Structure 1
Amino acid sequence: MSTAMESLEPLLAEFSDIKTASAKKNQLLRLFDMIGHFFRDGLSSDKIIIDVYSTLAFQFAFILGMLSHIFGKPYILVLRGGNLSYRFEQSPKKVKWLFGRAQHMIAPSHYLAEFFIKQGFHVQVIPNIIPLHEYPYKERIAIRPKILALRGFGKPYNPLMTLKAICLLKDQVENLKLLMLGNPEEAHYLEVMQFIEDHRLAGIVEVKPKMPKNEWIALSKDYDIMVSNPVIDNTPISLIEGMALGMCVVSTKVGGVPYLVSEKVCALVESDDATGLSEAILSILQDAEYAQQLSRNGRAKAQAFDWENVRPLWENLLGR
């Protein structure tokens, strides 16, 4: 799946000359590639846009911020990490140095914006975007027990919670199916596969590798419910994508998720609450009116993230 900045690049290119780095998966190679791009392209640029994450990748942002400052290049920070508040508590001097020298700071959610505004920083909210025309809407009316989980098996995404909920549902729901997208190199992959085997879920749960966006979008029409149960998050674009497609979305209410969606557009459950997740799925399956409401309201919510609505905010920012 592409990153938010990779998705944004061709859209910003409509009114600016922009280059992104880096698509490399290995973190050390990615850092070297980003530094290389800074010296090849950044020194001749008017502004540097830096994505800021809360894990090890925060150090990448700090290094690029230092280089930008040393060479006199104005930089814009885009706050991506759902756990940046914790990063601020753990590394206050580094965060204050990096944030204090930024020309602008952007947050895709009010969740992070509110936190850092309270710390004395000026933060503008510019939502994540989706090109809405790429997400064909299918209103879910007669809901089938076919569930899609596409976020993978990384540590933040708690895939075992999804599987535990399926275990609770398998004797209550006929023709229950779950498709999980994830790759072998992800942290919980082996646990997921072992859980499926130990609980005899092979006839219910299917695991496929992560796939390009156009492929999983085409596949999504065969699924009516999307689940996402991370333990920490900021503004997950996958929720917006699921709502845009008309799926009934269920998510844990962690981090920025409650700032992004309400109970009217997304069923929200507590973190690591497999019972709550199973009950939310069951409610969608048993209440057609509720499911239809989630499908319709979700699509309406997703329209606010369409590029045509977000573009003026970026044009104004980059034009300053």
Structure 2
Amino acid sequence: MKKVVYFGNKTSGFQSTKSTLETLEPLLSEIVEIHSYSDKKNKLVRLVHMIIGFLSHVGSANTIVIDVYSSAAIRYAEMIGFMSRVFRKKYILVLHGGNLPEVYRRKEKRIKRLFTNASHIIAPSHYLKSFFESKGYVVQLVPNIIQLEQYPYLKRKKIRPKLLALRGFKPAYNPMMTIKAVEILKTRGIFTELRLLGNNDEEHFDEVMAYIKEKNLQDCINVLPKQEKLVWITESKNFDIMISNPFIDNTPVSLIEGMALGMCVITTNVGGVPYLVKDNEEVLYVTSDDEIGLADKISELLTNQELASKLSQHGRSKAEEYDWGHVKNLWGKLLT
């Protein structure tokens, strides 16, 4: 069996959600022997852990796999890529983050060294694939995966005004847009129940809580800490609409998860989202930072049973394309 060392972020030990690497690792172990790094929270400690892990396995590894993020974590990819070149090891890059094209524009000379020497470049979305192909790279589409059996499908027909938002209070996810849409609906006499999952150490938590109190929205907004996946999946049957309105995104797994469960998804049409799902077929689009538009889309779902039923059915069909059974062969061709 081929040996692979995978470098990325393993965050479930200090965040409530699993990273892409943590989701992939047990599945890839079906086809290769895999070791992965790093689960350290401190950034310097994480880098050292990755370097030690690389040196521990470089002699026996057939392939190095490196996650490339659009945040400061791109430094880890640059370091492991440099070490792979020094030791003449084949490495594969896995692209993440809707803002990666902008990072490339700003740091093109640095990133070129990393990209040019990769044996393969993987993108989880047509958005990133198209951008980097326009820069002259050969990029293979390998979608993010979900394990479909974990997501029991419930077809939504007549939609209840019950909303679920998973993405929390970080700036990129624009939680105030969701809160203000609920406020607008309340002024229109439409009372919704929003469950907003997010942690109190995220940047906009205090702002969101203060606004809810100021506008007397406690009767329609319930803020809870982020939950383990199996918990919110179990509770999802009590909600019919998923809200996702980030400023920038690539291939949001939470959006795919919502569709898999049969929820009607409303999302901002930013970054890679238009490459992923079709408006009025699989999801509803709303313009970024447009709380009035979001309120209008929610109202439309509450009154249009035919639309809701279509989104629920077509969304599930779309999500099936991201099941591990479909994606496993793509990884197998790259690693074995």
Q: TM range, normalised to the smaller chain?
A: over 0.9
Q: CA deviation at 1:43?
A: 4.2
CA distance, structure 1, for counterparts of residue 44 and residue 169 of structure 2: 22
Deviates more, 1:60-69 or 1:30-39: 30-39
- Counterparts of 1:286-301 in structure 2, within 5 Å, are 286-301=303-318
Report what 1:191 is aligned to.
Answer: 207
Which has the higher mean CA deviation after the structures are superposed, 32-41 or 253-262?
32-41
Structure 2 spans left out of the alignment, 5+ residues: 1-16
* Cα distance, 1:70 vs structure 2: 1.2
Give the alignment of 1:135-284 within 5 angstroms.
Answer: 135-263=151-279, 264-284=281-301
**Does residue 311 of the first structure (1) align with residue 332 of the second (2)?**
no
How far the C-alpha of 1:42 sits from its partner, in A, is 4.3
Amino acid paired to 2:200: P
Distance 2:43 2:138 in 1: 30
Give the Cα separation in 1 of the matches to 2:84 and 2:327.
27
Query: Which amino acid is 2:34 matched to?
Result: I
Moved more, 85-94 or 64-73: 64-73
Q: CA RMSD in A?
A: 1.2
1:78 CA drift (Å): 0.3
Task: Give the Å deviation of 1:33.
Answer: 2.3
**Structure 2 Cα separation of the partners of residues 27 and 152 of structure 1:** 22
Partners of 1:43 and 1:221 in 2: CA distance: 49
Between the two proteins, the alignment pairs up a number of residues equal to: 319
Alignment partners' CA distance in 2, 1:173 and 1:130: 38
Structure 2 residue aligned with 1:83: 99
3-state secondary structure, aligned to 1:77: strand
Say whether residues 1:111 and 2:120 are aligned partners: no
Q: TM-score, normalised by structure 1?
A: 0.97
Q: Distance in 1 between matches of 2:303 and 2:56?
A: 57
Seen in structure 2, the aligned counterparts of structure 1 residues 18 and 167 have a Cα distance that, compared at 3 Å, is same
1:36 aligned to 2:55?
A: no
Counterpart of 1:87 in 2: which secondary structure?
Answer: helix
For the residues of structure 2 that align with 1:170 and 1:241, how far apart are their CA atoms? 28
Distance in 2, matches of 1:283 and 1:187, equals 31
1:60 correspondence with 2:72: no
Tell me the CA shift for residue 173 of structure 1.
4.9
Among 98, 118, 132, the residue aligned to 1:102: 118
Write the distance in 2 (CA, Å) between the matches of 1:182 and 1:114: 32
8 Å CA contact 1:53–1:82 kept in 2: the answer is no
TM-score, length basis structure 2: 0.92
Native 8 Å contact 1:145 1:173 kept in 2: no
Given that residues 68 and 93 in structure 2 are in contact (C-alpha distance below 8 angstroms), is that contact kept between their aligned partners in structure 1?
Answer: yes
Q: Establish whether residue 125 from structure 1 lines up as the match of residue 152 from structure 2.
A: no
Q: Deviations over 1:45-90 (max 9, x none)?
A: 1111111011111111111111111122211000002111111110
Give the C-alpha shift of residue 175 in structure 1.
4.2
Q: Distance in 1 between matches of 2:260 and 2:97?
A: 23
Q: Among the aligned pairs, what percent are the same residue? A: 50
**What amino acid is the match of 2:233?**
I
Match of 1:24, SS? coil
Task: Say if 2:185 and 2:191, in contact at 8 Å, map to a contact too.
Answer: no
Contact 2:156/2:312 (CA < 8 Å) preserved in 1? yes
Pick closer, same or farther for the CA change 1:279–1:26 going to 2, 3 Å. Answer: farther
Work out the CA distance in 2 between the residues paired with 1:290 and 1:201.
28
**1:25 shift after superposition:** 3.2
Paired letter, 2:329: P
- Counterpart CA distance in 2 for 1:26 and 1:277 is 37
Aligned equivalents of 1:24 and 1:159: distance in 2? 28
What SS does the aligned partner of 1:19 have?
Answer: strand
Distance 2:59 2:265 in 1: 43
Amino acid at match of 1:245: L
> 2:149 and 2:245 mapped to 1: Cα distance?
27
